[in-house]
Amino acid sequence: MSVTIALVDDDRNILTSVSIALQAEGFATRVYSDGETALKALVDNPPDLAVLDVKMPRMDGMELLRRLRERSELPVIFLTSKDEELDEALGLAMGADDYISKPFSQRLLIARIRAILRRAELRATPSDAEPQTPEAAQIVRGRLAMDPARHRVTWDGKDVTLTVTEFMILEALAQRPGVVKSRNQLMDVAYQDDIYVDDRTIDSHIKRLRRKFRQVDTEFKGIETLYGVGYRFGEE
């Protein structure tokens, strides 16, 4: 079955050209020209990944992403213009897995899509042909429990829903409590294929991770910042 990518943009030229490029790479595509129409479709019949533009009629990309994250952790790539740095930061803080600045190369977009889909596949439940002991795959660090096979995270037994990128960053920190991971190390974990992202990207994901954990524990302090060095998962 083909992997399905949803494209949401009010620019018909972008929808057409990107859709053709993706189909040539073996992807199935769905296209939407406004956020309001896209929201219902993305929730009712989720694709494997969505690419969202910022400026659209009826509902812009920011509002679409916000409402989508209330109901789904669908992988999302956020499109923004080069002069919209604030939008980039907000998009990541709201839960986008990645962002690309316009104008962008289709080759870069396809590389980013493949990288995120691979990360999502790593988090998928293994098939019966790949038996493993569930307990052995889990990571338990004090009040934190992570089950990579099921892409499940709990804190004090309460579920915390994470995007694919957020999960991989937290997993890298939780694997070695107390050990500091630099931003570059976390970028290597979260972004493959020599894809460049800047420090702000990792910082935005960390902020959103903390925000999600504080929704179930207002006193959450599990992810510590060492200014000028990086981040670590605190030992309890």
What pLDDT digit, counting tens, does each position of 24-72 carry? 999 999 999 999 999 999 999 999 999 998 888 788 888 998 899 888 8
Q: Model confidence at 192, in pLDDT bands (50, 70, 90)?
A: low
Q: Tell me what percent of the residues of the chain surpass a pLDDT of 70.
A: 83
Are 14 and 89 part of one and the same domain?
yes
Are 139 and 229 part of one and the same domain?
yes
Domain assignment of residue 228, given as a range: 134-233
Our measurement of the distance from residue 224's CA atom to the centroid of its chain's CA atoms, rounded to an integer in Å, reads 21
List the one residue out of 82, 84, 42 whose CA is nearest residue 66. 42
Rounded to the nearest 10 degrees, what angle do helices 85-93 and 199-214 cross at? 40
Q: Model confidence at 129, in pLDDT bands (50, 70, 90)?
A: very low
Backbone angles phi, psi at 26, to 5 degrees: 95, 5
- Residue 4 parent element (H or E): strand 4-8
Judge whether residue 224 has pLDDT over 80.
yes
Are 110 and 148 part of one and the same domain?
no
Tokens, residue 182: 């630099």
Say if 127 falls within a structural domain. Answer: no
Judge whether residue 210 has pLDDT over 80.
yes
Say if 149 falls within a structural domain. Answer: yes
Backbone angles phi, psi at 226, to 5 degrees: -110, 100
The CATH number that applies at residue 183 is 1.10.10.10
Are 71 and 155 part of one and the same domain?
no
Are 170 and 216 part of one and the same domain?
yes
Judge whether residue 136 has pLDDT over 50.
no
- Of 122-126, 166-170, 174-178, which gets the smallest average pLDDT? 122-126
List the one residue out of 63, 17, 1, 53 whose CA is nearest residue 32. 53
Say if 107 falls within a structural domain. Answer: yes
Which whole number is the average pLDDT over 169-189?
88
Using alpha carbons only, give the angle 73, 226, 76 rounded to the nearest 5 degrees. 15
Say if 128 falls within a structural domain. Answer: no
Judge whether residue 91 has pLDDT over 90.
no
Judge whether residue 222 has pLDDT over 80.
yes
Q: How many domains does the chain have?
A: 2
Q: Model confidence at 134, in pLDDT bands (50, 70, 90)?
A: very low
Instruction: Write down which residue in 90, 122, 154 finishes a domain.
Output: 122
Predicted confidence (pLDDT) per residue in 66-88, tens digit:
899 888 888 999 887 755 555 56
